[in-house]
Amino acid sequence: MFPSKKIQKNYVFKISELMLIYCFKKKKEKNFIDLINNDCDIYRKTDLYNIKKKNFLPKKKEVWKKITLKLQSFTNLKQEEFLKKSIEILRPHFLKRIKNNTKLVEYNTYAKFGCFNYSIKDRKVDLHMPVFQFIDHKRAKRKSYNHGQKFSMRAQDLFSLVKNVKKKHPKVKIIQMGSWLNEYKPFRNLFPKTWKSTNKIKKKNSIAWWGQFVDVTGNIHKKNAKFFIKNFKFPYSGKFYQCRIEDLNKFILSSLRKA
């Protein structure tokens, strides 16, 4: 199993605790049920959800609705008791998913262009980096790489994607991505100075926001989680950034020549 079941178990409980804390603290600003369903993705971490088809299993949506109502009933308690009772309700559904060897989206190891995918959205290339450890697992031969090696591999993947876009969608001129990674310097270094925020925010119930709490082993990212609990703030925001495809193409070519 990749990662191990022990790591998966710890991660799913810790990330869900962070999401529950988020919902508990935000409940005065927004409806709790709305928060748990649209700002978090705890449901994807249970045995009730079909990750591949991106929907609930037959008759399981009603089970989830009952669970969310139960969780909502705990929100009049103190935070610590709320967390304890909520996790007790969710625990069997987390453990059953792990027992069934159903992977989380966080642990995906395939993308068409190494560690990148894309779609066309609103006449723009919508870039995705959906791969665990942000590396092409088919090409990776070692367990660890230095910063320069990772940059080179990711730049090559991104160049392959841009080449495909220019061939199949020549009229599309803008590339964008909505993710916390845009505020993470090692990732932003893959892009030219024209790669800038549009001030548009990505929907929160995805790894575009919560992915910053997964470390390279697949476990909870302790530093980012600690920051979130202490400040009740995400270390990085899930904002959209964009630039011209031609700017990116020139920048990658220049970067690869220097590598």
pLDDT tens digits, the chain, 259 residues: what are they?
A: 479 999 999 999 999 999 999 999 999 999 999 999 999 999 999 999 999 999 999 999 999 999 999 999 999 999 999 999 999 999 999 999 999 999 899 999 889 999 999 999 999 999 999 988 877 677 666 667 777 788 899 999 999 999 999 999 999 999 999 999 999 999 999 999 999 999 999 999 999 999 999 998 999 999 999 999 999 999 999 999 999 999 999 999 999 998 7
228-237 CB contacts, 8 Å cutoff, 24+ apart: 228/18, 228/21, 229/18, 229/21, 232/21, 232/22, 232/25, 234/180, 234/209, 235/180, 236/180, 236/181, 236/182, 236/183, 236/184, 236/212, 237/180, 237/183, 237/201, 237/209
- How many other CB atoms are there within 10 angstroms of residue 143's CB atom? 6
Total-model pTM: 0.93
Nearest CA to 179 out of 160, 206, 157, 155 is that of: 206
Distances (CA, A) of 147 to 115, 142, 157, 230: 16, 14, 15, 29
